Structure 1
Amino acid sequence: MDRRRKIIPENIQRRITKIFVTNLPERCSGTDLASYVRQYGQIFGLYIARKRDKGGNRFGFVSMLDVKDKDELLKSLRNIRMGDCRLWFSVAQFVLEDGEIKNNYAEKGNHSTKTYRKQHGDEDHREGKATFFKKGERSFKDMLVGKSVRIHSNVTAFSGLYGRALIARMIDLDALKNIKIILNEICPSLGRVQYLGGLDVLITFDDAETALAVRDAARSILGRFLKISIWEGQAFGFERLAWLKVQGIPLHLLSNEVIDAVGGVFGKVEHKANRSDSDRDLSW
């Protein structure tokens, strides 16, 4: 029996767009992948490799017919999640089927087009290289989903500060900006301030007695500290402050309340908008 795969006619090849997909979940079948991709266009063929790419992820290829806008297609496909895995799609660098012609090579008269000749055997894994991703387009979160790091129970960073340092959360951004002034009013020339992210700071003293005294004094000050406690190695969440530049709000909706509402979509608004009707620049 002739097991050779049929060469795809050139008129069909011209209609095909090859899409590389990676970060497939374990046990994902071609049928599973097709059920997610089919809503975005007509599938001509689909293949999931047995090997993994250099990032250790399962990968495959989807042949789509008559794609009008590749960028729009990729934008839609990159929203696909299968369980905890967010799939990553890009236009394949090389064609895969025997006899296919890569358009830009054909136009230049270059007939040394690379092919992928082993569909279900030992793959010549040219398409599995990490060159399918444009720098900055894949987030750290996507890279780390499903992975973990084991930390030994005896790891105690900053243990030398136990008892003589304070973890303080300021009540607002103004208090955070003026922490050194506030601290100087409580204990002049004492305490070293280190920023921890969000509204949190680490304040270190030479001895535990001073740390306790400052903690008690800080708790009696209104409108400055939201929470303050002795550092004893306790866990607390990490937060970050980010400034948003909001643009495109129509003039009839351009109010501080609307600007704050837009900011609230991304997280808690710590510094509210202070736009004025007399501002010269209204290009929000």
Structure 2
Amino acid sequence: MGNPNRRGGNNRSSFDTDDPATRTTFYVTDISDRVTGMKLREAFSPFVYVTDAWVPRRRSSKGKVFGFVRCQKIKDPYPILQNLNDITIMESRISVSLALFDRAHKKIPYVNDEPVKKVWMPREKNVVDADFPPITLVYCGSSGSKKSLYLDDGEALYPAHCIGRAVVGRADSIGRLHSVKKMLAAAGFVEAAVSYVGGLSVLISFRDRGEMDAFLKSKEDVWKDTFVSVTPWTGQDFPFERIAVLKIMGLPIAVRDGAVYDKVGNLIGKVVWPSEFSWLAVDNSVGFSHVITRLPSRIDEEVAIRWRGSGIMCGWLRNNYLGCLSLQRSRPPEL
């Protein structure tokens, strides 16, 4: 029987203990009043081994809904908190932190199980007026050594079961990419699984080969307005590409306009989502442009702009954030 004081309380596991030596408990806020313990379990399961999750009926002191997720002991939970705080449940981005108290209102002690490592360092020399490199060169960048990793084709990689019943579809804009699930549902492919695989491409897995073949034959009726190409996936790789969100700075005030920012973006790659620059916004110091590019490294360039026939204005382009993040956080709603 579930706890009557909890919504979704019957979603209980046999591993039910507050012992911090064996369990880690997360405190979840900014959730909808429709969220249950089962919803929390489903959202957290890809990241941690959930043993229990619940949403109390009572509210916080600020009148907000909150919940708890208990999982098997995590030695260092702080790195994973970054991923957990990217979770969206029912269109609400949740906030996750370590629970400070257990159900008996006793404070939970968090101890770093990793022993302190002693690191040998050379004795500091007393050097005066030395020419040191910039701190960014000291603490940033690559390690300088080339790294290689060899993978065995025989390994049981996750997508292997999709071979022979999946396709890779490529759209020509982010807007078209966002319509994939709606397109599949309208055509009756309600059980097809959609995975974003980079750039403007998605991997669509069907129940069986027959359903995949039916989709391939339905170009005129189903997907010609969504994809520019659809390829059966047999395990092959595709050329690398990613969506980059360019932060463009330095344009003269008089020419700051969405069309101009997109012209600058087209110098780096193809614009796949129109600039949303508007003078109705409060901050008009910069503009953004979404482009598709095959450059794997961070984009940080200067563009010469000639204006009014005199002088050269310079616009700086900086890669704001990368790949799948831009797809997930752009409008319209995520895949």
Q: What's the TM-score once normalised by structure 2's chain length?
A: 0.40
Q: Which has the higher contact order (CA 8 A, sep 6+)?
A: 1
Q: TM-score normalised to the size of structure 1?
A: 0.47
Q: Which has the higher helix share?
A: 1
Structure with higher Rg: it is 1
